[in-house]
Amino acid sequence: MKKLLIGTGLILLLIVSGCSNSIGPINPSPNNEDRPNEQMKPSSNKKDNQMGMMGHGHDLPLASSAGKNELNIPPILKSDSETQSDVHYTIDAQIGQTEIFDGIQTKTLGYNSSFLGPVVKLKKGQTAHLTLKNSLDEETTFHWHGLIIDGEADGGPHTVIEPGEEKEITFDVKQDQATLWFHPHPEGKTAKQVFDGLAGLLYIEDELEDTYEYGKNDIPLIIQDRTFDDDKQLNYEAVKDPDGTMGETLLINGTVDPRLTVNKEKVRLRLLNGSNMRNYKIKLSNGEQFEQIDSDGGLLNEAVELTELQLTPSERAEIVIDFSQFETGEEIKLMMDDETVLLPFKIEEEKPTGKNTIEPVKNEVEITDEEKNMPVTKEINLSGMGHHVAINDKQYDKDRIDLTQKQGETEIWEIYNEPDMMGGMIHPFHIHDTQFKVISINGEKPPKNLQGYKDTISLDPDDRAKIAVKFEEKGIYMYHCHILEHEDNGMMGQIEVE
């Protein structure tokens, strides 16, 4: 009862603050934009994560990892053939069964395997030839999230591969090193196919030396939450939520109750939030600092020291934890801000050490004065909930092009998350075929870990961000909310780049 009263009070507060916003200045004053802001995203109570969910029924708790199983490390996909200049891969979307729980087979989907997928490695400067096979019993697409790629190969909802069919795509790899990922994108069916297991990692490598070693001290963490039924099966229709499906069971790289054995050395963790809708605020159990070195599209200008990091669906962050500062046998865990354990670490002296741990050379992502002063030429308004989500008051229509932009030209997009009667919720806004730069959030310079390349920007209710967007390739591309049920419900638009 007490909770309810507090809740009602907060909702009233939200409505009041919502109203005062609507009569206040709509645009943040531009001369704020250079104010240095070393903090994480400025947050008032109103913008608190949990608060933003109020009234949307989104508080399904996630069970802590008991650390019973050593983390599965996805294999690296073997090429069909590779030369300096060209690489060929085959990627096959399949139906399978996976022993997620001891002695029980769960029906799942996967790429080249029964669940999730291998890491696909591409090198900058190479031409990639991918044979894409659909061995499912329904249509699918192969989308390369974060990759700069022409519209025909991007794998949006208009490039369906029918069951039993295959298709080859060819493209040049032009990006610097980055941790990207791939997943299906068929119209209205993305959430279910990802839920059932279709998701894999895509690593771009460049001329910079790889200073960590995959699987030893360079570890991917695909973080997902799922609800299993009484028979330990994935039954999407039974648990789906039009505002984003949450699960009570944590999976990292498909492992339940994961733990990771590490050495007393620096370990690079490549985090991907591969969940349909859950946001994770991540910290270490002892409150120690860690470094973030990479955001969605590549290395940051410098390592950023953090004690907490928020990851919304589809976002990536690479963090480095220095385990040499901890004692062997000390209990360190990766956890959420509400103390849910994501990944307990087992610190060992004996595990063979990976290569050295010289920090990779940093990027130089710079926001030019020109970009800072350019007028906003695209406005994106995110609104609604459940089946009524919309972008600029419209829902996705495959026959409608919503925006156009010229190849190679930068434009400033302003994204606004319009609160609703319940206060609203976080929407992670994603654009295909680009790595954009965040110019400002609510008129202020973004925190340091958002000052690198991004393909998804998470907005709290009433947040307004300016981003500098450039497309290097041509074609028709999606932009959408990456809560997968919002995307499926039409919170998506199309831009044609000419």
Range in contact with ligand C2O (rule: CB under 6 A) among 71-79, 172-180, 315-323, 477-485: 477-485
Q: Looking at beta carbons only, is 192 or 427 nearer to Cu ion? A: 427
Q: Looking at beta carbons only, is 314 or 440 nearer to ligand C2O? A: 314
The residue ranges that bind Cu ion (CB under 5 A) are 145, 427, 432, 481, 483, 486
Per CB under 6 A, 189 contacts ligand C2O: no
Best CA proximity match to 384, nearest among 372, 393, 396, 373: 393
Q: Name the residue number minimizing CB distance to ligand C2O.
A: 145
Q: Tell which positions 45-104 bind ligand C2O, by CB under 6 A.
A: none
Per CB under 6 A, 445 contacts ligand C2O: no
Per CB under 6 A, 143 contacts ligand C2O: yes
Best CA proximity match to 291, nearest among 269, 275, 310: 269
**Residue from the set 87, 478, 491, 497 that interacts with ligand C2O by CB under 6 A:** 478
Best CA proximity match to 76, nearest among 132, 121, 29: 121
Query: Residues near 65 by Cβ (< 8 Å), separated by ≥ 6?
Result: 250, 252, 256, 257, 258, 259, 341, 342, 343, 344
Binds 46, which of ligand C2O, Cu ion, none (CB < 5 to 8 A, cut-off by type)? none
Range in contact with ligand C2O (rule: CB under 6 A) among 22-30, 76-84, 125-133, 475-483: 475-483
Query: Residues near 398 by Cβ (< 8 Å), separated by ≥ 6?
Result: 157, 158, 187, 494
Per CB under 6 A, 486 contacts ligand C2O: no
Per CB under 6 A, 185 contacts ligand C2O: yes
Cβ count within 10 A of residue 330: 14
Binds 185, which of ligand C2O, Cu ion, none (CB < 5 to 8 A, cut-off by type)? ligand C2O
Q: Looking at beta carbons only, is 464 or 480 nearer to ligand C2O? A: 480
Q: For residues 245 and 191, is the Cβ–Cβ distance under 8 A? A: yes
Q: Are strands 86-101 and 127-134 parallel, antiparallel or unpaired?
A: parallel
Binds 480, which of ligand C2O, Cu ion, none (CB < 5 to 8 A, cut-off by type)? ligand C2O
Closest distance to ligand C2O from the beta carbon of 430 (Å): 5
d(CA 93, CA 84): 27
d(CA 25, CA 7): 28
Q: For residues 398 and 158, is the Cβ–Cβ distance under 8 A? A: yes
Per CB under 6 A, 283 contacts ligand C2O: no
**Residue from the set 183, 278, 427, 454 that interacts with ligand C2O by CB under 6 A:** 183
Q: Name the residue number minimizing CB distance to Cu ion.
A: 481
Rounded alpha-carbon distances, angstroms, from residue 56 to 6, 27, 53, 312: 16, 28, 5, 17
Expressed in angstroms, the distance from the first to the final Cα of the chain is 57
Tokens 């029918």: give the residue.
162
Q: For residues 311 and 280, is the Cβ–Cβ distance under 8 A? A: yes
Per CB under 6 A, 133 contacts ligand C2O: no
Per CB under 6 A, 158 contacts ligand C2O: no
Closest distance to Cu ion from the beta carbon of 459 (Å): 9
Helix, strand and coil content of the chain, in percent to the nearest 5, comes to: 10, 40, 50
**Residue from the set 58, 432, 470, 486 that interacts with ligand C2O by CB under 6 A:** 432
Range in contact with ligand C2O (rule: CB under 6 A) among 116-124, 329-337, 382-390, 476-484: 476-484
Residue 486 is encoded by which pair of tokens?
């919002």
Please give the radius of gyration of the chain, using alpha carbons only, rounded to the nearest integer: 22
Per CB under 6 A, 314 contacts ligand C2O: yes
Residues that bind ligand C2O (CB under 6 A): 143, 145, 183, 185, 314, 430, 432, 478, 480, 482
